């Protein structure tokens, strides 16, 4: 039995500049961090023979080509995996459309698991690169690269996305600033599910056809430096302001990113004491990321009871094999 886990992520600044429609024209940059909410993949040899896959449904097949689930199918094809295996997935935050990068965490954990079964050791950079190729090229998802890299590396990182498809990673040793971030950033579930695919497809089309779209994402990307400074200075007001400014710019990138309910929830959060916030991910639903001064956190949470709170801490490890009885 082998168990792999990969963390979900939260993007603070630069989201959207990791899309190929942007970084192939000029570099993209994202400041993000992984959280201690995970996607797990467990696998062991399947005695009955073939492949048994358990997720929201169960598949039993003899050939990789017969697998319905595109991430399972394409990951196994990419790694030329053909053994008898049973795979099961689990998640701390079930379901898709959370905005926390769950599909990419799934792919990273799956690649980590399958490569370990084959006796292949992959670096964080290699894990992320392969996961990107599987999701974007083989599965044809209209997504960027930040989720896979955040999940593979863990911790807080500045990622730079280059036009030659390379990705530069600067991993931060936050030291005592970890406590500040854990205390000042809050996640709340909107109760609204959404598919990011349609939003990202429209966003990609606009990047190809509308110069204003490039300019808006450039503004979002260019806030990375200021956001990084605010984190190091433990400036909760500055972080909240930058989150809100980027959220306003982001809403101009595609239809359906926000709606009256989401706007009302953000206004309500600010009236309760948040310094700013946004939806994480592509928009349309999922989780609100709110910034609150640590001294006001208790008062804020007593007032803002509109949504379900998701407690979290920063993950500092990234994707890892948490159990492997082959080496015990």
- Identify the CATH number of the domain in which residue 212 sits: 3.30.70.890
pLDDT digit string (tens) for 87-146? Answer: 999 999 977 778 999 999 999 999 999 999 999 999 999 999 999 999 999 999 999 999
| Residue 160 shares a structural domain with residue 217 | no
Say whether pLDDT at 327 is over 70: no
In a domain, residue 268? The reply is yes
94 and 55 together in one domain: yes
pLDDT score at 195: 64
Question: φ, ψ for residue 167 (rounded to 5)?
Answer: -130, 125
Judge contact between 4 and 113, C-beta under 8 A. Answer: yes
* Same domain for 21 and 132: yes
Q: Do residue 54 and residue 112 come from a single domain?
A: yes
pLDDT at position 113, please? 97
Domain end point (choices 173, 206, 239)? 173
DSSP 130-160: HHHIIIIIIS-----SHHHHHHHH-SEEEEE
Note whether residue 325 is domain-resident: no
**CA 52 – CA 86 distance, rounded (Å):** 5
State whether 194 and 153 are in the same domain: no
E-state strands within the chain? 2-13, 28-45, 51-54, 58-61, 85-91, 156-161, 167-172, 185-189, 276-279, 287-291, 308-310, 320-324
pLDDT of residue 215: 92
Q: Do 146 and 62 share a domain, yes or no? A: yes
Give the bridge partners for 6, in sequence order.
39
Residue 55 is assigned to a structural domain of this protein: yes
Structural domain that includes position 242: 177-310
For residue 152, the domain's CATH number is 3.30.230.10
The DSSP code sequence of 90-101 is: EESS-SS--SS-
Closest of 274, 101, 285 to residue 189, by C-alpha: 285
Sign of CA dihedral 175, 176, 177, 181: positive
- As a dihedral over the C-alpha atoms of residue 171, residue 177, residue 179, residue 180, rounded to 10 degrees, the angle is -120
Shared-domain flag, residues 285 and 166: no
Question: How many structural domains are present in the chain?
Answer: 2
What is the structure's pLDDT at 311? 97
Asked if residue 323 is part of any domain, the answer here is no
Are residue 302 and residue 183 in the same domain, yes or no?
yes
CB of 87 closer than 8 Å to CB of 53 = yes
Instruction: Give per-residue pLDDT as tens, 250-295.
Output: 888 877 788 899 999 999 999 999 999 999 987 788 899 999 999 9
Q: What's the confidence (pLDDT) of residue 38?
A: 98
Percent of the chain scoring above 90 in pLDDT: 80
Q: Which of 173, 198, 231 is the last residue of a domain?
A: 173
pLDDT-wise least confident of 119-123, 206-210, 232-236 = 206-210
């Amino acid at each position: 039995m082998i168990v792999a886990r990969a963390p979900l992520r939260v993007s603070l600044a630069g989201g959207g500049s990791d899309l190929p429609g942007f970084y192939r024209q000029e570099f993209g940059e994202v400041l993000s961090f992984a959280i201690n909410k995970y996607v797990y993949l467990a696998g062991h040899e399947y005695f009955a023979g073939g492949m048994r896959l358990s997720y929201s449904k169960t598949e039993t097949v003899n050939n990789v080509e017969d697998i319905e689930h595109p991430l399972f199918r394409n990951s196994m094809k990419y790694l030329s995996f053909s053994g008898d295996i049973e795979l099961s997935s689990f998640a701390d935050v079930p379901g898709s459309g959370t905005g926390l990068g769950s599909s990419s965490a799934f792919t990273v954990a799956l690649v980590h698991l399958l490569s370990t079964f084959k006796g292949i050791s992959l670096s964080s950079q290699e894990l992320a690169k392969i996961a990107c190729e599987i999701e974007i090229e083989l599965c044809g998802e209209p997504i960027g690269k930040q989720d896979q890299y955040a999940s593979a590396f863990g911790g807080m990182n500045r990622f730079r996305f280059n036009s030659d498809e390379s990705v530069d990673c600067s991993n931060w040793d936050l030291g005592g600033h970890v406590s500040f971030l854990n205390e000042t950033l809050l996640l709340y579930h909107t109760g609204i599910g959404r598919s990011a695919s349609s939003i990202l497809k429209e966003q990609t089309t606009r990047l190809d056809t509308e110069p204003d779209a490039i300019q808006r994402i450039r503004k979002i990307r260019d806030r990375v430096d200021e956001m990084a400074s605010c984190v190091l200075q433990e400036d909760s007001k500055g972080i909240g302001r930058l989150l809100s400014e980027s959220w306003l710019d982001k809403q101009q990138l595609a239809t359906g990113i926000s709606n009256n309910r989401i706007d009302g929830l953000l206004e309500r959060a600010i009236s309760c004491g948040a310094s700013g916030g946004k939806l994480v991910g592509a928009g349309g639903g999922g989780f609100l990321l709110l910034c609150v001064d640590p001294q006001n956190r208790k008062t804020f949470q007593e007032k803002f009871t509109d949504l379900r709170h998701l407690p979290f801490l920063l993950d500092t490890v990234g994707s890892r094999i948490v159990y492997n009885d082959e080496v015990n």
